[in-house]
Structure 1
Amino acid sequence: MTPEIETIKVPTKLAQQYYKEVFDPAELISIIGLTTFYKREFAFLLEDGNFVRNTSFKSSDDLIKFLTTNPIRRSYVGAVYETPPTKNNTIQRIKWVSREFCFDLDLNDYDLVRSCGCQGKEQYCIICWSLVQDAAAFLDKTLKEDFGYKKIVWVFSGRRGFHGWVQDKGAGILSQEQRNSIINYLTIIKDEKRTQAVEKDLKHVIPLRDRILEMIAKAFFAHANDKELKAEPFNFTKDQITKLRYNLERGSQPFSKTYDIILERKQDRDAIFTRIIQHRYPRIDRKVSIDIRRILKIPGSVQDTNGRICCRVDIKKIHKFFPENSPTIWELLS
């Protein structure tokens, strides 16, 4: 059965009560820092549908005062600027200083390959949720091992995915061009919405290829049934499937070695590898990562459609986290 993500709108009065009695700005400050807090842009979706940007606060107390006295549906935080953003001193007119290198993983970006029957923003199940769990784990490891980043925080988006915040100082001052270069390195699916074309020859990107086999391919085969493995492009024999299952459950060697041993010469390795990438490789929202003026939901804020809190998630326990593990506003105020 497919669980549906609730679409109940949280009353703004209830949200105000949450921000007054429960919300702890320390969680937000631990991610974005305190020294430049007053020069951060904040943005808000109001109850009447108006979207307010170019807002800044001298302190976290002022932010809480705003949250508790205005009809807020959703709250966002953006970049640091040379001077505090205001209606008369907009982000288009002032110098940009920094913004964490951020990643947005959204489950409905996988709609073309969700084989469980779930679709869109309102549905998820344990099978398709593993797609964003795997994506977060893969990106975290790749950013740390290939780019040397050490401080990465993952936050449940409140609904259908995760937000990654790279906190390293060097990451915050990356230009759009530099961010674009890193995203290009991480991007393998050329056109996620239509053709699903894989654009890179990964034989020449050994660290990424081996990591894909170890983390993405292993997950793909763990979820694939015998019928899928016997069909194109795999054409696995019964003996191959038996060896695969054994190694997935009990194998002690790296899965990349298991993969190379199990596949036979006659099998189309490129087609198999392409299918794995198309079905399980991370879908990254390029604009969120590259655009230095992009905003993301405030960690600790309320998702207005279901009342869940955008809470921090331990990357080491990412595969044990599901949306229902996030507390709701009703639970916290009871």
Structure 2
Amino acid sequence: MVGQHDENLLSDMLPIYYTRLFPQNIFCRWLTCGSYPHPVSNRELSFTLADDVYIRYLSINNQKDFQTLLQKKIPHKLDIGGVYNTKPSIARHDSVVLARELVFDIDLTDYDEIRTCCQEAKVCEKCWKFMVIACEIIDKALRDDFGFQNILWVFSGRRGIHCWVSDYEARTLDSPGRGAIADYMCLIMGGDNQNKKVNLGSDNIHTSIRRALNIIDQYFEQLLEEQGFISTADRLQTFLKIMPDENLKSQTEKVLAKMSEASLDRWKAFLNIYNNYYRENSNSSRKIKYLIEEIKIQYCYPRLDVNVTKGFNHLLKSPFSIHPKTGKVCVVFKPGNAKNMKLDEVPTIYSLLDDSSPDNAQHQVNMRVAVKNFQEVVFSLEKTEAMRRRNDANTSLDF
């Protein structure tokens, strides 16, 4: 069993996992805070059972209900939805979502056009750096630009990360408000047929984009080497198509095509070509003023599934759910620690329940750390909610 994933074993192992290791108490406290001022019974849960049987509009009244539901249904995957105006199982077609955490979903499959180490469901330490950059940029923007404080980061269990913003102001945002935040975060535009997907114009760059570029710069050269963004003839052609100036493109191709295929060497040569060209061609300067920044953003900036963020009633996988395809736990991590995460150190249901597993001891420790990270966010949320309710009560009395 060690080191192997067999989805058929989950039905036997999940009841033990849910009883011994799933942090039911703190999970229900998180749901309760995220539901207030409505009862937690108005919150939608969704289970995916064995053989992909999908059940929506489930709800609980308390932790005991949740425990009973877990043991009865044994979900292979647990998703969380919004807070309705009534119990979601009652009159579901007439019910309305009143509140929902502001969520972000970043998946490495959306980086397949630029990552070269892996494709589709595969992920390694090299392409994990894209997730590190995304986490740092989004977390910083949420805190500094919007003032949100109660932010939960969760590994998806396979190839991505999820962000849950539980502040009252975030939970009660309407769809246009969520869309505005998603659009603010989105700098990469266009589908597969569009070559240049970032356009910063020629005006001063917004401080949030400068901040994002400072984060990207910490990783860019390493990514250049590891991903080989411009190492082969095909990748070089993709890189050249980003350039809006034909003369600059021609000069760059002439020099880089004759060089070794090392991406970092080619990048440094391009910087010299660009700087000289920019100084000598005032007519073209506005069009390519921020070309370097645009290239870095196109290769490294977060690629969000904006529909997840904009959708008021979108379901998202629960923290500490088991990913049915990998057996990995959807662990909670601190954004500042994303760069230190090792994917092979993420606990699996097998390593946690098999005492003979060589990873058992370390994965047990990592699981406890993940639960502690979750507790810290929930405790902060509870404190924030208590203060907000007290302030609301005082305001009502003053009135």
TM-score band, normalised by the shorter chain? Answer: 0.7 to 0.9
Q: How much is the aligned-residue C-alpha RMSD, in angstroms?
A: 3.0
Q: For 2:189 and 2:50, locate their aligned partners in 1 and report how far apart those are by CA, in whole Å.
A: 38
8 Å Cα contact 2:200-2:294 kept in structure 1: no
Partner of 2:301 in structure 1?
A: 281
- Give the 3 Å change call, closer, same or farther, for CA 262–193 of structure 1 in structure 2: closer
Q: CA deviation at 1:308?
A: 1.0
DSSP 3-state at the match of 1:102? strand
Are the counterparts in 2 of residues 16 and 69 from structure 1 also a CA contact under 8 Å? no
Shifted more, 289-298 versus 193-202: the winner is: 193-202
Partner secondary structure for residue 304 of structure 1: coil
Relative distance call for 1:323 and 1:28 in structure 2 (3 A) is farther
Quote the offset at 1:11 in angstroms: 2.1
**CA–CA distance in 2 between the matches of 1:261 and 1:147?**
38
**1:54 maps to what in 2?**
57
Counterpart position of 1:253:
none
Q: Secondary structure at the match of 1:115?
A: coil
1:180 aligns with 2:179: yes
Identify if the C-alpha distance between structure 1 residues 261 and 211 changes in structure 2 by more than 3 Å, giving closer, same or farther.
Answer: farther
Q: Could you tell me whether the CA contact under 8 Å between 1:216 and 1:276 is conserved in 2? A: yes
1:215 aligns with 2:215: yes
Counterpart position of 2:133:
134
Structure 2 Cα separation of the partners of residues 80 and 204 of structure 1: 41
Q: Which amino acid aligns with 1:8?
A: D
Question: What amino acid is aligned across from residue 136 of structure 2 in structure 1?
Answer: A
Whole-Å separation in 2 of the counterparts to 1:140 and 1:196: 28
Show CA shifts across 1:67-105 (max 9, x none).
Answer: 11224221111111121111x421x41122100000111
Contact 1:157 1:163 in 2 (8 A): yes
2:42: which partner in 1? 39
| The structure with more helix, counted as a fraction of residues | 2
Is the 8 Å Cα contact of residues 303 and 309 (structure 1) preserved in structure 2?
A: yes
Q: d(CA) in 2 for partners of 1:206 and 1:76?
A: 36
Are the equivalent residues in 1 in contact too, given 2:200–2:290 (CA < 8 A)?
A: no
**Percentage of identical aligned residues:** 27
Task: Report the more deviating stretch, 11-20 or 283-292.
Answer: 11-20
Superposed, 1:112-261 pairs within 5 Å as 112-116=113-117, 118-121=118-121, 123-195=122-194, 197-201=196-200, 203-225=203-225, 228=230
CA distance in 2, matches of 1:262, 1:168: 47
Q: Which amino acid aligns with 1:61?
A: K
CA distance 1:304–1:182, change in 2 (3 Å): same
Q: Does 1:72 align with 2:75?
A: yes
More deviation, 211-220/201-210: 201-210
For 1:2-13, what aligned pairs fall within 5 Å after superposition? 8-9=6-7, 10-13=9-12
How far apart, CA to CA, are the structure 1 residues paired with 2:195 and 2:76? 35
Deviations for 1:201-221, whole angstroms, at most 9, x for unmatched residues?
Answer: 264442123113201244223
2:155 and 2:140 map into 1 onto residues whose CA distance is 18
Summarize deviations over 1:144-199 as a string: whole Å, max 9, x none: 11111122110111111111011111000000111101111111111254425435
AA in 1 matched with 2:86: T
Query: 289, 308, 320: which is aligned to 1:300?
Result: 320
Uncovered stretches (5+) of structure 1, i.e. residues with no partner = 246-259
- Structure 1 CA distance for aligned equivalents of residues 138 and 111 of structure 2: 16
Instruction: State how far apart, in whole Å, the 2-side matches of 1:192 and 1:130 are.
Output: 23
Aligned counterparts of 2:108 and 2:27: Cα–Cα separation in 1: 24
* Residue type of the alignment partner of 2:275: E
The corresponding residue for 2:390 is none
Q: Which amino acid aligns with 1:136?
A: C
> In structure 2, what is the Cα distance between the partners aligned to 1:142 and 1:6?
39
Q: 2 CA distance for matches of 1:261 and 1:168?
A: 46
Are the equivalent residues in 2 in contact too, given 1:154–1:314 (CA < 8 A)?
yes
Q: Does residue 78 of structure 2 align to residue 81 of structure 1?
A: no
CA shift, 1:22, in A, is 1.7
Name the counterpart of 1:266.
277
Between the aligned partners of 2:86 and 2:192, the Cα distance in structure 1 is 39
Going from structure 1 to structure 2, the CA distance change for 1:6 and 1:131 (only over 3 Å counts) comes to farther
Q: Which has the larger radius of gyration?
A: 2
Q: Could you tell me whether the CA contact under 8 Å between 2:188 and 2:298 is conserved in 1?
A: yes
CA shift for structure 1 position 39: 1.3
In 2, Cα distance between equivalents of 1:47 and 1:196: 42
Residue 181 of structure 1 aligns to a residue in which SS? helix
Shift of 1:319: 0.5
Amino acid at match of 1:93: D
| Preserved contact between residue 189 and residue 196 of structure 1 (Cα < 8 Å) | no
User: Any unmatched runs of 5+ in structure 2?
Assistant: 244-248, 279-287, 355-399
